[in-house]
Copies of this chain bind each other. A is one copy, B any other.
Amino acid sequence: MTTDPTELFRTVRDRTEELAAPLSAEDQVVQSMTDASPAKWHRAHTTWFFEEFVLSPWAAPYEPVDPRYRYLFNSYYEAVGPRQPRPRRGMVTRPSVAEIAEYRRAVDDRVAALLADNQDPALLATMELGRNHEQQHQELLLMDVKHLLWQNPFRPAYQDGGTPAGAATPKPAGWVEHPGGIVEVGHDGRGFAFDNEGPRHRTFLEPFQLSDRLVTAGEWLDFMADGGYSRPELWLSDGWAHINAEGWDCPDYWDRVDDAWHVFTLSGRQPLDPAAPVVHVSYYEADAYARWAGARLPLEAEWEVVATDQGDPAAQFGLHPRAVAEEPTAGAAHQLFGEVWQWTASPYTPFPGFRTAPGAVGEYNGKFMVDQQVLRGSASITSDGHARRTYRNFFPSRSRWAFSGVRLARDV
């Protein structure tokens, strides 16, 4: 793998364009809900990020490609100034998709020119952040596209292909055991990580067991058949209120067609594969399922120490068909990465000693540290090379448009 910053930059940038390629201009402009953003916006915002945090300080005096874009494509950086309100990102029909493509090319060229002249470590560090930021948006783009296409009553597909028939029944889940005690978790500073992954620190764990695989769609059907969505004793109070207000009685993206369950995927509607990991459940649902199963959700530290014991996250990411019904190696945790994000019982809080960076970029993660839950692992749509054992994804408890699933844990 290359370490040339320009080449790394180009690779990430090209990947975004590749992901957007199957989408029409219409697909790219509509905002399907407040939490989601149009694909065009993702393409522009990731570009603005390089303009704002790389070109503006490092290529000074910097003349922006279009001064209006600073307003239109800032996401949430208060220090940068006012911005298009998030719920109104879908109103921006102009600039067009073609103009955004042009904007991307212009910024790419300027960044490449800058890098040709300057390899200052601080610059390169910001470049690395920008690439990782863009990879996050690649996953968001796919989440948001899936949500948008799901709004269409005829369930159009983003791409061809689809799940190969996963006929095999998964092995019964086993448990990976850990003795607990003082453990070290969090990023140690070697290689890239987001600010919220550090500092590395000690924490104390009781002995615990972590399931060696993910909860499957078939197991979720058992939960439903056992009245999972109608038994209040299984639910957090907020969760019970929420599923009743929303009328939820199955995971998101599930459709009952001709008496058979189907799931909507980026490849369109598919028959539900009971061996596949369940996906698109909220924290409320994950928590209720765990209670029903006589287990609990793992703490993020529990997840991390087991993942660390398992060696390096392999390169099983991306948009490739998921491996199903794999043969689990005894005593090893499988499906940690590349399948679905795994809800943890840990609220998203700062690690001890956490400090935000100075300047606008310091708004990156810290200001979201309340009323969200951490998810660990990565998903089938996570960009190659973007997963880490210390990665902390986070969403509100009610959220389920991320590729979020469940791994169980229990006390010993």
Which residues of A does B touch, CB under 8 Å? 24-30, 32, 40, 68, 71-72, 76, 78-79, 84, 88, 90-94, 96-97, 148-149, 151-154, 156, 182, 201-204, 206, 232-233, 235-240, 283-284, 287, 345-347, 349-350, 352-353, 363, 367-371, 373, 396-397, 411
Contact = CB atoms under 8 A, between A and B. Distances in A.
A79 B237 CA distance: 13
Nearest to A23: B93
A411 B352 contact: yes
Given A206-B201, A352-B206, A397-B370, A237 B76 contact: yes
Nearest to A91: B151
Contacts of A203: 203-204
Contacts of A202: 204, 206
A352 B298 CA distance: 11
Contact of A93 (B27, B68, B373): B27
Contact of A26 (B93, B238, B353, B367): B93
A152 B92 contact: yes
A88 B151 contact: yes
16 contacts: A25-B26, A26-B29, A26-B40, A26-B96, A30-B30, A68-B153, A72-B153, A78-B233, A78-B240, A84-B153, A91-B148, A206-B353, A237-B368, A283-B370, A346-B349, A371-B397
Nearest to A284: B370
A28 B236 CA distance: 30
A236 B93 contact: no
A91 B149 CA distance: 8
Interface residue SS majority, chain A: mixed
A201 B203 CA distance: 13
Contacts of A76: 237
Contacts of A396: 371
A27 B68 CA distance: 19
A345 B352 contact: no
Contact of A237 (B26, B367, B397): B367
A368 B90 CA distance: 30
A266 to B, nearest CB: 14
Contacts of A287: 370
A233 B79 contact: yes
Among A202, A367, A370, the one with the most B-chain Cβ atoms within 10 Å of its Cβ is A370
Q: Which 7 A-B pairs rank lowest in CB-CB distance, beginning with the nearest? A: A78-B232, A347-B347, A91-B151, A204-B204, A26-B93, A26-B29, A25-B25
A369 B345 CA distance: 10
A239 B151 contact: no
B235 A24 contact: no
Given A30-B30, A78-B233, A237-B76, A148 B370 contact: no
